[in-house]
């Protein structure tokens, strides 16, 4: 029984290109999946690693806290707007 091994070509992306891709994702010009497909990146996890490393807003282990009062206030404003319409 002979096993065949295929070597996979490894692509190396410059830091500038990584930052550019992260910027496009942050500006919502691309999704993570679109970036993987368009640039031929190995997988989604690679892009998330770049996001955690180069993103100005997304850092691993950070949490976004939403205040309940601000959400309730927003809901009331939107309900008032619906009544006006």
SS3 64: coil
Q: What integer pLDDT is reported at residue 37 of this predicted model?
A: 93
- Model confidence at 24, pLDDT cuts 50, 70, 90, reads very high
Q: Which residues contact 50 (CB under 8 A, 6 or more apart)?
A: 18, 21, 22
The domain containing residue 24 runs over which residues? Answer: 15-54
Whether 73 is in a domain gets the answer no
Contact 31/41 with Cβ under 8 angstroms? no
Residue 76 lies in a domain: no
Contact (Cβ atoms closer than 8 angstroms) between residue 24 and residue 35: yes
DSSP helix/strand/coil, 75: helix
Give me the mean pLDDT over the 10-28 stretch: 92
Domain count, the chain: 1
pLDDT tens, residue by residue, 25-66: 999 899 999 999 999 998 899 999 999 899 888 776 666 565
Residue 31 covered by a domain: yes
Establish if 45 belongs to a structural domain: yes
56 and 26 in contact (C-beta within 8 Å)? yes
Evaluate if residue 14 carries a pLDDT over 90: yes
pLDDT at 71: 72
Nearest to residue 10, comparing CAs of 42, 53, 45? 42
More confident site: 30 or 67: 30
Instruction: Establish if 33 belongs to a structural domain.
Output: yes
How confident is the model at residue 64, as a pLDDT? 59
**Domain annotation covers residue 75:** no
């Amino acid at each position: 029984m002979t096993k065949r091994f295929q070597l996979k070509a490894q692509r190396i992306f410059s830091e500038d290109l990584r930052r550019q891709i992260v910027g496009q994702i942050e500006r919502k010009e691309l999704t993570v999946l679109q970036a993987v497909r368009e640039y031929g990146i190995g997988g989604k996890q690679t892009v998330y690693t770049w996001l955690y490393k180069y993103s100005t807003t997304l850092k691993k282990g950070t949490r976004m806290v939403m205040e309940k009062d601000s959400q309730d206030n927003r809901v009331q404003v939107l309900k008032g707007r619906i009544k006006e319409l």
